[in-house]
Structure 1
């Protein structure tokens, strides 16, 4: 008997969840409206329309995208330095770990005082991705085939030649594993930054809808943010598969 594709089970599970959600929203939470049914959320989402969502989505995507780029660039540079200069690895790893452990909700107001415009949100998004990508890049750079490294050295190549010829290619599967996790993390960092102070963005829109008791709109904004994070994760995973066809699917 032929097995059904995995997406069939996923779609079935999602449909079942939506049906249960609809029933619970119209019965258990009918009076409080704390959990509106999906049909009401979608109705409000379409009523708000493109004009409401796009300016906020564009702002959040810009902040998250810039943070993702800067954070990942810093992480990759740190990983290369750690591999090439092992003497500084411990200090740099402790610094990266400290940045990962910093409570975003605590440093956000400080960044808002120090910087203006989108800078605080970009920094928070970058801090949200550095450690994850650093670990993936570091594992990947060190997974290079020892025989290939020895061959480069036998032909007179140094550590930088090994990096360029062998390590960078070997690091791609693990690097993309970190990058795809970093994508939704950057979205979260940007939205938290907007919560702490901004003029526009999904975080600001959510605060305004909460204050006006627009429950369906609040849920709609949350679903849009979730969809964007999922799309960013999926797009990064797709690019990783296209660029690393030799890697096992579990790694990509």
Structure 2
């Protein structure tokens, strides 16, 4: 049955997470790793503390806004660049090299550059967009090439034009690969936003993490990290479900 298969596939992952959380709590309780590793229960207590709810909500909202805007902008740029390179072969090599060079620049270096080029509040969005751009560019580029020679031969024999072939053959075969790229880009966008927030942003989870680290607020630090992880996993899970629906409709 499908439900039993789903439980069987999910059980190892759930047990692994449970074991990790148990080890986290034990290490924190025993103090083996010192004061910088608090018990999980202490971190959760800080996270659900009513007096800190507004702070966490503001920080999460700011980070999601920056990461989300960068995600959409970087995704759109990556899609347009990949399509341009696919339709105009002379651009392909140059665009691929440009994307590789941009991706090779560390996020901290990018944030430093954008701090000069744009405002401090726009830096998280810009860093997230640049890092997402490369992932989507590669995913779409690979997906557009995934149609088999036999499929291309069929469309050639039918006399299909270039743009009609793109729409009827190459885009549908590209979608599953693009969805995987969109899914992978979620944590990358969030990390880019967090790094960008370290360079003068007024709010965000990155700012919260940095301030907690500088003031040695260990429970607050781990609470912000845990919250960032949960947000990333939630969005990743949603996109995984969307990817499953897309694959189901295309098969």
Unaligned segments of structure 1, at least 5 residues: none
- Give SS of 2:48's match: helix
Q: How far is 1:24 from its partner? A: 1.4
> 1:105-144 alignment to 2 at 5 Å?
105-116=108-119, 118-144=121-147
Q: How far is 1:86 from its partner? A: 1.1
- Give SS of 2:201's match: coil
Does structure 2 retain, via aligned residues, the 8 Å contact 1:29–1:36? no
Q: How far is 1:109 from its partner? A: 2.1
The worse-fitting range, judged by mean Cα deviation, of 79-88 and 55-64 is: 79-88
- Give the Cα separation in 2 of the matches to 1:146 and 1:109: 46
- Give the Cα separation in 2 of the matches to 1:119 and 1:157: 44
- Give the Cα separation in 2 of the matches to 1:110 and 1:100: 14
Unaligned segments of structure 2, at least 5 residues: none
- Give the Cα separation in 2 of the matches to 1:175 and 1:139: 9
Taking a change above 3 Å as real, the CA distance of residues 111 and 102 of structure 1, as seen in their structure-2 partners, is same
Partner of 1:54: 57
> 1:156-167 alignment to 2 at 5 Å?
156-167=159-170
Does structure 2 retain, via aligned residues, the 8 Å contact 1:56–1:201? yes
Q: How far is 1:41 from its partner? A: 0.6
Partner of 1:242: 245
- Give the Cα separation in 1 of the matches to 2:185 and 2:18: 28
Q: How far is 1:117 from its partner? A: 5.2
Query: Is 1:28 the equivalent of 2:31?
Result: yes
Select the residue among 147, 150, 155 that pairs with 1:152.
155
Give the TM-score normalised by the residue count of structure 2. 0.91
Query: C-alpha deviations, 1:80-131, integer Å up to 9, x for none?
Result: 1111111111111000001100122113122112212532111100111111
Q: 1 or 2, which has the higher helix percentage?
A: 2
Query: C-alpha deviations, 1:190-226, integer Å up to 9, x for none?
Result: 0000012200000111112122221001000001111
The worse-fitting range, judged by mean Cα deviation, of 41-50 and 188-197 is: 41-50
- Give the Cα separation in 1 of the matches to 2:216 and 2:146: 52
Does structure 2 retain, via aligned residues, the 8 Å contact 1:183–1:229? yes
C-alpha RMSD of matched pairs (Å): 1.9
Partner of 2:107: 104
Partner of 1:93: 96
Query: Is 1:66 the equivalent of 2:66?
Result: no
Give the TM-score normalised by the residue count of structure 1. 0.91
The worse-fitting range, judged by mean Cα deviation, of 139-148 and 215-224 is: 139-148
Does structure 2 retain, via aligned residues, the 8 Å contact 1:139–1:171? yes
Q: How far is 1:247 from its partner? A: 6.1
Partner of 2:197: 194
Query: C-alpha deviations, 1:38-85, integer Å up to 9, x for none?
Result: 011111111154211111100000110111111111111111111111
Paired residues, number: 246
Does structure 1 retain, via aligned residues, the 8 Å contact 2:121–2:202? no
